[in-house]
């Protein structure tokens, strides 16, 4: 599903250049649940941003579902993002004046899905995350866990090839984190490919594979036995 | 533009951001409203002044006399100056090239006018045929005094519509009836009206010759009145008539031994001179209103730009989210512009409609001197609305363009 070869990225900081990614080779199969771990500054968020086409690599190859991703301009990137990717952010990033349902329906708007159809689909995905009754509520009326579930529903609504989650549990307490991870595991069970950036080891243990980043290179890439989030719940 | 989904998205945004929308709209609507009202009153003032001058032929020259205030050639001040027929005749022959219409005026005093048993309490003036045109009068019935009336010293009289209304009730026809002027019968030959209104109709006219001879006027004249030949342009007309009034005044001062610097003995009133002053004034007033109006519009534009800047700033994060979900930059710019244009258009037009309606409804009811029927050219008002919409669009475009091209990650980080 994802193929990365020799990826480099550096940032200019005044006269200095900060080499963040120093040749990443990495691939993800369909249906995997991968945790990208590392301390802050290891380059894990940069990697996720490049995978999400929110940022562009300096050199290297990136192929997504057989499509080479290169020479991106904003319009092209927007198109790929809309077709291939779903995002879940640490800070939820819901639009505060839109209801839960409207937030979920938004990516469908950019896929030019008709309004009725959008609403139907949005409700369906809200139901899958267990928030159908909250469809008409504004984000400000939802708890943190509910917000993240709405964000996950929104990311899924576009039926992306890959779901990218940047510290999805970073702003949540441990109980809510488990609920969110349970949901992510469930979505993965349905066959969706998911990448999670996290620095929490227990969250990483709930994935099927852990990639360790340190100083811009992959130092460890191992399959793990998945810990089911449901096993924590009493 | 005709994308129904886009419209729905925009209506959603507007509905959920009522205050923001309202404030944007208000600044646009009030800008247009103030401009239209100001322009309307500018026009109203011009109409009003134009009407004041429509009362008389606008290049009228009028001479009247008072007592001298200065000693001159051994004569004491306080002398009453009386114009004579010779003065009138001399002016006629000397300025025959310049003059168009002319008429002396002799005011008949101490005469009682009776119709049947009723006494008519209005004044009588002896005039020539030209007077009708000088005073801008029209005839409702019959004819005015003419040359042969003057030559034959005819005992004929022209009354006004007002007098007809007041003394010839029940639709009685005054034509051919006789009025009794201190025992002498005068035949009514015409009924006149004056565009200057009723206060110009408080009088009756008889031939100047009759007035002088029958009512002991000898060769006295109270006023001289003239209009000049039309000139090529307004400016030239003003120059010519000023020169004429000056020469006329000098001549009269000379023959009546009045000091050249005596300001009140002989007076020459020139409507054109006044008209020029007033026209200049209305021009200035109009300019001023335009100036204020344009400043208002600029303030409106700045207000709209300001709000658009804030709106875009406020929505940077939202723009980032939309982009992460697959919105193209062009669709972001389109969305913000669409909203800006829609809001400015709706509020601009409502400001326009409201102010025009106010002018239409209230305008004709305004009865103030020098303001008449304030109104505004619809096309001018419409263009200002479009200017404002364009300005709003431009004002929205640059921040929107910038916001749409901020790196998505940076936009998402915006707090």
- Give the Cα separation of B28 and B376 in Å (integer): 18
Shared-domain flag, residues B249 and B298: no
Shared-domain flag, residues B126 and B168: yes
Q: Which of the 8 DSSP states describes residue A199?
A: S
Residue A25 contacts B where some CB pair is shorter than 8 Å: no
Q: Which domain holds residue A55?
A: 2-231
Shared-domain flag, residues B145 and B42: no
Q: Which of the 8 DSSP states describes residue B81?
A: P
Give the lowest-confidence range in A29-33, B264-268, B387-391.
Answer: B387-391
* Chain A residue with minimum CA distance to B406: A74
Q: What is the pLDDT of residue B313?
A: 82
Residue A81 contacts B where some CB pair is shorter than 8 Å: yes
Q: What is the pLDDT of residue A147?
A: 93
Q: Which residues contact B381 (CB under 8 A, 6 or more apart)?
A: B32, B35, B36, B39, B352, B355, B356
Read off the pLDDT of each residue in B153-166 and give the average, rounded to a whole number: 91
Shared-domain flag, residues B201 and B81: no
Shared-domain flag, residues B249 and B180: no
**Which token pair is A13?**
């900081």
Q: What is the pLDDT of residue B191?
A: 92
Neighbours of B361 (CB within 10 A): 9
CATH code for the domain of A193: 3.40.50.300
Shared-domain flag, residues B222 and B331: no
User: Which residues of B fall within a CB distance of 8 Å from A109?
Assistant: 5, 9
Read off the pLDDT of each residue in A99-106 and give the average, rounded to a whole number: 92
Q: What is the pLDDT of residue B204?
A: 92
Q: What is the pLDDT of residue B10?
A: 83
Residues B13-70 have pLDDT tens digits of: 888 788 878 888 888 888 888 888 888 888 887 777 766 665 544 678 889 998 888 8
Does residue B196 have a pLDDT over 90?
no
- Nearest CB among B13, B17, B329 relative to A74 is that of B329
Q: Is residue B78 part of a domain?
A: yes
Does residue B234 have a pLDDT over 70?
no
Shared-domain flag, residues B215 and B243: no
Instruction: Tell which wins on pLDDT, B414 or B242.
Output: B242
- What percent of chain B lies above the pLDDT cut of 90? 13
Shared-domain flag, residues B215 and B311: no
Residue A109 contacts B where some CB pair is shorter than 8 Å: yes
ipTM (interface pTM): 0.90
Residues B274-316 have pLDDT tens digits of: 777 766 777 787 788 778 878 877 877 787 777 778 878 888 8
Q: Is residue B269 part of a domain?
A: no
Distances (CA, A) of A65 to A4, A194, B165, B328: 12, 14, 100, 21
Number of domains in chain A: 1
Q: Is residue B61 part of a domain?
A: no
Q: Is residue B110 part of a domain?
A: yes
Residues A40-97 have pLDDT tens digits of: 888 888 898 899 888 888 889 999 888 888 888 888 888 888 889 999 988 889 998 8
Q: What is the pLDDT of residue B307?
A: 76
- Give the Cα separation of A50 and A62 in Å (integer): 9
Determine contact, residues B164/B225, Cβ cutoff 8 Å: no
Q: Which domain holds residue B138?
A: 104-228
Q: In 3D, which of A186, A181, A200, A183 has the Cα closest to residue A36?
A: A200
pTM for the full predicted model: 0.65
| Cβ contact, residue pair B9, A109, below 8 Å | yes
Shared-domain flag, residues B224 and B234: no
Does residue B271 have a pLDDT over 70?
yes
Q: Choose from B12, B21, B325 for mutation: most chain A CBs within 10 A.
A: B325
Number of domains in chain B: 3
Give the lowest-confidence range in A190-199, B98-107, B303-312, B367-376.
Answer: B367-376
Q: Which residues contact B165 (CB under 8 A, 6 or more apart)?
A: none
Residue A12 contacts B where some CB pair is shorter than 8 Å: no
Shared-domain flag, residues B198 and B255: no
Does residue A134 have a pLDDT over 60?
yes
Shared-domain flag, residues B109 and B182: yes
Quickly state the pLDDT bin for B358 (edges 50, 70, 90). confident
Does residue A208 have a pLDDT over 90?
yes
Read off the pLDDT of each residue in A105-118 and give the average, rounded to a whole number: 90
Neighbours of B291 (CB within 10 A): 11
* Chain B residue with minimum CA distance to A80: B326
Q: What is the pLDDT of residue B17?
A: 81
Q: What is the pLDDT of residue A142?
A: 93
- Nearest CB among B13, B328, B409 relative to A54 is that of B409
Q: What is the pLDDT of residue A197?
A: 92
Exposed e or buried b per residue across A34-62, where buried means at least 16 C-beta atoms within 10 angstroms of its C-beta:
bbbbbeeebbbbbbbbbbbbbbbbeebeb
- What percent of chain A lies above the pLDDT cut of 90? 43
Q: Which residue has the tokens 């939202």?
A: B318
* Chain B residue with minimum CA distance to A157: B325
User: Which residues of B fall within a CB distance of 8 Å from A102?
Assistant: 12
Q: Is residue B58 part of a domain?
A: no
Q: Are strands B99-108 and A85-88 parallel, antiparallel or unpaired?
A: unpaired
Q: What is the pLDDT of residue B404?
A: 83
* Chain A residue with minimum CA distance to B12: A98
* Chain A residue with minimum CA distance to B318: A95
Nearest CA to CA, how far is B318 from chain A (Å)?
6
Shared-domain flag, residues B207 and B320: no
User: Which residues of B fall within a CB distance of 8 Å from A111?
Assistant: 326
Nearest CA to CA, how far is A193 from chain B (Å)?
18
**Which token pair is B117?**
């048993």
């Amino acid at each position: 599903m994802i193929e990365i070869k020799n990826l480099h990225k550096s940032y200019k900081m005044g006269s200095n250049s900060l080499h963040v990614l120093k040749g990443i080779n990495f691939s993800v199969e369909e249906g995997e649940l991968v945790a990208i771990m590392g301390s802050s500054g290891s380059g894990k968020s940069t990697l996720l941003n490049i995978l999400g086409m929110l940022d562009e690599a300096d050199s290297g190859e990136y192929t997504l579902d057989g499509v080479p991703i290169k020479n991106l301009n904003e319009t092209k990137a927007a198109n790929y993002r809309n077709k291939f990717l779903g995002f879940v952010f640490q800070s939820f990033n819901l639009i505060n004046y839109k209801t839960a349902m409207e937030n979920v329906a938004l990516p469908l708007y950019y896929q030019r899905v008709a309004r009725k159809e959008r609403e139907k689909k949005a409700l369906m995905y809200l139901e899958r995350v267990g928030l159908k009754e909250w469809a008409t509520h504004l984000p400000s009326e939802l708890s943190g866990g509910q917000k993240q579930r709405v964000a996950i529903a929104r990311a899924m609504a576009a039926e992306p090839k890959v779901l990218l989650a940047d510290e999805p549990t970073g702003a949540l307490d441990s109980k809510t984190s488990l609920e969110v991870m349970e949901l992510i595991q469930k979505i993965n069970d349905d066959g969706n490919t998911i990448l999670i950036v996290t620095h929490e080891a227990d969250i990483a243990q709930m994935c099927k594979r852990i990639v360790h980043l340190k100083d811009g290179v992959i130092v460890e890439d191992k399959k793990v036995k998945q810990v089911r989030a449901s096993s924590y719940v009493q | 533009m005709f994308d129904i989904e886009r419209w729905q998205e925009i209506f959603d945004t507007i509905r959920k951001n009522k205050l923001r929308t309202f404030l944007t709209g208000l600044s646009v609507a009030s800008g247009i409203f103030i401009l239209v009202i100001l322009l309307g009153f500018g026009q109203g003032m011009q109409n009003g002044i134009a009407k004041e001058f429509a009362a008389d032929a606008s290049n009228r020259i009028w001479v009247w006399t008072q007592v001298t205030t200065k000693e001159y050639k051994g004569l004491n001040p306080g002398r009453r100056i009386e114009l004579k027929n010779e003065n009138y005749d001399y002016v006629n022959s000397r300025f025959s090239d310049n003059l168009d219409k002319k008429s002396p005026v002799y005011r008949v005093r101490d005469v009682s006018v009776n119709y049947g048993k009723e006494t008519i309490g209005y004044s009588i003036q002896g005039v020539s045929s030209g007077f009708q045109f000088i005073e801008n009068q029209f005839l409702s019935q019959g004819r005015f005094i003419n040359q042969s009336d003057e030559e034959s010293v005819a005992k004929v009289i022209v009354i006004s519509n007002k007098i007809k209304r007041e003394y010839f009730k029940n639709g009685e026809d005054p034509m051919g009836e006789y009025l009794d002027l201190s025992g002498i019968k005068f035949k009514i030959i015409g009924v006149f009206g004056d565009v200057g209104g009723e206060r110009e109709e408080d009088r009756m006219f008889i031939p100047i010759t009759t007035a002088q001879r029958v009512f002991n006027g000898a060769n006295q004249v109270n006023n001289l009145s003239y209009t000049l030949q039309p000139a090529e342009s307004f400016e030239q007309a003003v120059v010519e008539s000023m020169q004429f009034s000056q020469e006329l005044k000098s001549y009269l001062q000379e023959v009546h031994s009045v000091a050249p610097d005596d300001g009140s003995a002989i007076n020459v009133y020139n409507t054109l001179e006044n008209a020029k002053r007033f026209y200049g004034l209305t021009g200035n007033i109009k300019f001023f209103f335009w100036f204020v109006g344009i400043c208002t519009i600029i303030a409106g534009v700045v207000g709209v730009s300001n709000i658009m800047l804030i709106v875009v700033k406020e929505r940077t994060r939202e723009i980032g989210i939309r982009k992460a979900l697959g919105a193209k930059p062009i669709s972001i710019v389109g969305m913000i512009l669409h909203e800006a244009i829609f809001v400015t258009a709706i509020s601009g037009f409502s400001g326009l409609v409201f102010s025009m309606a106010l002018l239409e409804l209230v305008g004709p009811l305004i009865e103030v001197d020098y303001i008449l029927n304030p109104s505004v050219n619809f096309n001018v008002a419409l263009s200002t609305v479009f200017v404002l919409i364009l300005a709003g669009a431009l004002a929205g475009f640059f921040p929107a363009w910038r916001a749409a091209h901020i790196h998505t990650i940076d936009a998402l980080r915006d707090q």
